[in-house]
Amino acid sequence: MKTTLILALAAAASAQELCDQYGSYNKGIYTVNNNMWGKDSGSGSQCTTVDSISDSGVSWHTKWSWSGADSSVKTFPNSGVKLDIKLVSELTSIKTSAEWKYDNGNVNADVAYDLFTAADKNHATYSGDYELMIWLARYGSISPIGSKLNSVDVGGHTWELWNGMNGDMNVYSFVAASPVTSFNTDIKEFFDLLAKPFLPC
């Protein structure tokens, strides 16, 4: 199956193509990763192109063609931003905006924010004690880890709230009721909703 994901979080001029399994490109506070971590569960290829990147944001797109079991994750192309290390209770704001599109929705895939917290401030940034995911969309038959707790309104949209364990990591996932292709909010609102009943501060 061939498809394209285009994601933009602001813009500035630059271009870099990433086709290696873990190809990455960083500039300032942003990094873009091709991240074909599960490529051996299928066959195919993928390249991610950084269209623009600066401290004000990043724009990139990914083209791929994969075959293999629908239930096996092949890849997780992404962009990341470096945040200051703080206690959850010290957060004042994590404002964000994103616009994205698929040219083919006939896939098993999600479009998501992925954040981690840990008791150890020196913990690796790609995992933690807790994981917060914000699924702007899901396609096909996939679901988050765990089970659905309830539905909540936060950040200007309605979400299913899911919870489950991924090994030792406690995962909370907010899943949009329908695709949110233009997203502008403060992620602190999601932490605020979880903090009292679920997350240590």
Residue carrying the six token digits 């285009």:
6
Last residue of a domain, one of 82, 108, 135: 82
Please tell me whether residue 173 adopts helix, strand or coil conformation.
strand
Any idea what the CATH number is for the domain that residue 33 is in? 2.60.120.180
Residue 168 scores a pLDDT above 90: yes
Q: What is the value of pTM for the model shown?
A: 0.89
Radius of gyration for the chain, computed over Cα atoms and rounded to the nearest angstrom: 17
Pairing label, strands 30-33, 157-166: unpaired
Residue 8 scores a pLDDT above 80: no
Residues 6+ apart with CB under 8 A from 98: 7, 8, 9, 136, 182, 183, 184
Residue 195 scores a pLDDT above 50: yes
Whether 77 and 132 map to the same domain: the answer is no
The region that residue 102 occupies, defined by phi over 0 for left and psi between -120 and 50 for alpha, beta otherwise, is: beta
Domain extent for 74? 1-82
Amino acid identity of 53?
I
